[in-house]
Structure formats: structure tokens, C-alpha cells
Amino acid sequence: MKLNYKRVLLVGMAFFLISAFWQAYDAIIPLIMTNHFGLPQSVSGAVMSIDNVLAVFLLPVFGALSDKVSTRFGRRTPFIFFGTIAAVIAFISLTFIDNYQLARLSAALVSSDTAESEALRAVALEFTLANPLPLVGFIATLLVLLVSMATFRSPAVALMPDVTLKPLRSKANAIINLTGTAGGIIVLVLGMVFATSKNAYMEYTGYVLAVCSVMLTGFVVFLLSVKEKKWAEEMETESLRLGLSEQAAAGEKRKLPKAELTSLLLILASVALWYIGYNSITSKYSVYATNILGFDFNFTLIIAQAAAIVSYIPVGLIASKIGRRKTILAGVLILGTAFFLGIFVTPTTPEIIMYPIFVLAGIGWATINVNSFPMVVELAKQGDVGKYTGYYYTASMAAQIVAPILSGILYDALGMRYVFFAFGAFFVLCAFVTMSFVRHGDSIPTQNKSRLELLDVDD
């Protein structure tokens, strides 16, 4: 039984284009709303949480719909096809609306007698309030874009298990995650090429066109190479031959004992807490780096992602020796320490000082992310893995709804400079407390597993 690496890599092109999109979206949308429309951080944070609100409701819906679809192209491919096309059109259209807003602002910004960013944003807000139609159009197009992305995220996630034998899915998922990370890094490099962190009032059409070209490249490779229906049928046949077909659960399902239920709730609370801390940083770092520190956020985020990639296999090896819980606790401490150190970086600090901080953040997040999802599904009983997967994503998505709104309110009230990293560090370290009381859901050390199998994420 061998994994078809080429096949998994081609299936991973769907993850490649999804990751490329979200990297660009998280980088420029907060900048547009804050600098071009002059919106307060709290309002900007609320808009940034829309995708997570939609995800909570739409991802299960479209995932279930794709289970029931049957076409000659397969069940998932039609969703990926139409969703990608609609998303690309909406993303490019979004920049045209933004350009219109910038054209309105340009004369006022040129004639302004101040270079202070807060004063310039006040001018932008004044224009927005005087004529809110561009903002209304921007938000409406943004909703179309987010719904388009939501239509195929779950089908894309389901495709890998559809075509991969169950014992090989951990290896396959590691490749999928690395493929997605590659898409994100390419977009970060594009951000450096287009200098998206250098000009708060630039037009983003060229950058978004480049990003969409990357997305469409992965999309075309996927369409031309992936034979979903054929590969899924081959997987089902091979599963039957090897006796791997899942059977309906026999007997009654028992409820979790109280101790295990307590651990589950503590794990989910930990997931929510560290996602609030982490997402508060990642969703607004482009704004903080550009407006407060004057740093290039693209290269810093590339360093963090590179550190995470390098950490995947060592983290899996460590978890197999000492257990997932202890490994997660170490990761939480590393991530919390990184955010705490970020508090002391000021606009006068050399930018290079931020690099090792984000290396720590990348290592810490990889350490947490590789092991947290398996702890949740470790507690699942026969036939309940999908339900427990839902628990995990409910906790993480809910946290990502709360994070930008709550942090944005504090930024407006107390100032972004002194709250940004402190907020993230506080919630991450709170997760250390809740995770310390977890007593169930840890991994049982196994022998002779390949290194890629140790990357048991989102299986």
C-alpha cells in the first residue's frame, strides 16, 4: 500500500489556490478598509470577521451538498470550478471599487497639510461618510467574494479523503498542507514585489491580478490533471480489496464519560483561546506593521511560514515521544513568548529584530496546529469523527469571529501600539492554563510510523 504522491499533489492544487487567496485577502482588505475608507479598527475588525461567520453556516451546507451531487466530473470538482471563477471575478471587481474611492481621495490627500496617518484616515472617513455608496458597493462585492470561496472550501477539503486510502491520509494531508503553504508564500513574495506594505494609498489592481493569476494557475493544473470520479472509484475498489471499507457502527454509541467530556471542553476552550490570540495578530499585522512600525509585513510573514514548514516533521517526532498534550503546551509557551517579545518592538527598532520573533511564532503555531485537531478526534467514538471535527471548527471559527472585533475595540480605545502584541500574548497564555488541565485525548506512541504520518493534521 503506497501513497500516490503525484496524485495528492495535484489534488492539493485546490488548497494551493485557496491559500493564495486568503494570504492576499488578509493582507490588503484591512489596509483598504482602514486607510482608503477610514474605518475605525473595530468596524474593520467586524468586516474581517464576516468570512468566519459565513464559514460557520456555509461550510457544512456546501460540504453536505457536494456529498449528494453526482456528475461525470465527480462530486467536488463542480463546486471548485464555479466557486473559483466567481471568486476571481469578484476579487478583481473589488479593486475597481477601491480605485474609485482612491480617485475621490487623491486630491484631498495631496492638498492635506499633514502627513500624520491618523489625520489622513480621518479625511478618508469624512469622504466615506459624505458618500457611502462606494463602501456599500465594496461590502456587497466582498460578500459575493466570500460566499464564492465558501462554496468550494469544504468540497476541496473532502476531495483528498475521497481519493486516498484511509491509512495513507495522514501522509496525504501533510503534502496538502505543504502545497497550501507554498501558495501562501508565493503571494507573500508578490506582496514584496508590489510593495504592498510601503504605500498605504496604492491601487491594488495589479497585485490582485497577479494573485488571481497564481490562483488560476493552480486551478488549470487541477482541472487538467485531477480525474476525481475515476480516482474515487479506484480508491473505493482498492478499499474493498484491502478490507478497509468503513462499515456502519454496530451497537449503541456510548456517551463520553464525564472525565473525557471535561477534557474535550477544555481542549475546545484552548483552541478558541489560542485562535483568538493568533488571529488577532495575523488579521491585523499588515495594518500594524505598515501604520505603526513602518515595516515590510510580507517578508516577516514569509519567515514565520518558513519556520512553520521546517517545524512540521520535528514537531511530529517530538509528539510521538512525549505526547501531544506536552508538545502543545510547549508550543503555546513558544507562541506566547514570541508575542510578548513583540510588545517591545517599536518604530525605532531595527526591522531585523522582528524576524527571530516571527520565527518563534511560526514554530509555536506549527507545534500547536499539528497536534490540536488529532486530540479532539482522539476522543471521538465510532461514527462520530465528523461530529467532533465540527466541534473543532466551531471553536476555531467562533474564535476568529471574536478576535478582530474584540481586538479592534481595544485598539480604538487604548491605541494599537500598546495593545496589539499584548492582546495576542494574553489569550495564548490563557490557553496554556486551560490546556494544563486536559487529561484525555493524548496520542498513544506508535512504532515504525513514517515521518509524514506523524503530521496528523485535519485527517
The C-alpha cell at 333 is: 509557551
**Residue 310's pLDDT is what?**
83
If DSSP codes are grouped into helix, strand and coil, which group holds residue 27?
helix
Q: Which domains does the chain have, with CATH numbers?
A: 1-239 (1.20.1250.20), 257-459 (1.20.1250.20)
List all residues 6 or more positions away from 457 whose beta carbon is below 8 Å from its beta carbon: 173, 174, 177, 369, 370, 373, 374
DSSP letter for 453, please: G
pTM for the model: 0.70
Round to whole Å and give the CA distance between 183 and 12.
Answer: 10
CA distance 138 to 21: 17
Question: Is residue 148 within 8 Å of residue 86, measured between CB atoms?
Answer: yes
Residue 142's SS3 state is: helix
Residue pair 452/174 in contact (Cβ under 8 Å)? The answer is: yes
Residue in the structure block whose three cell numbers are 495564548 = 428
- CA 354 – CA 300 distance, rounded (Å): 7
Give the Cα separation of 7 and 23 in Å (integer). 25
pLDDT value at residue 347: 86
Please answer whether residues 177 and 455 qualify as being in contact, where contact means their C-beta atoms are separated by less than 8 angstroms.
Answer: yes
Please give the grid coordinates belonging to residue 281: 495578530
Give residue 195's pLDDT. Answer: 83
Helix axes 205-225, 13-31, angle to 10 degrees: 170
Q: Other CB atoms closer than 10 Å to residue 221's CB: what's the count?
A: 17
Distance CA 183, CA 177 (A): 10
Residues of the chain under the 50 pLDDT cut: 246-251, 382-383, 385-386, 443-459
- Cα 435 from Cα 336, distance rounded (Å): 14
Q: What is the DSSP string of 377-415?
A: HHT--TT-HHHHHHHHHHHHHHHHHHHHHHHHHHHHHH-
pLDDT the model gives residue 334? 96
Distances (CA, A) of 431 to 124, 211, 249, 273, 339: 38, 35, 35, 5, 14
Q: Percent helix, strand, coil in the chain (nearest 5)?
A: 80, 0, 20
- 3: nearest Cα among 161, 171, 155, 187: 171
pLDDT digits (tens, 9 = 90+) for 89-143: 999 999 999 998 888 887 666 555 555 667 777 888 888 888 889 999 999 999 9
Note the Cα 58 to chain centre separation in Å.
Answer: 16
**pLDDT reported for residue 248:** 43
Supply the pLDDT for residue 220: 96
Question: Which residues, at least 6 apart from 284, have a Cβ–Cβ distance to it below 8 Å?
Answer: 30, 41, 45, 48, 404, 407, 408, 411, 416, 420
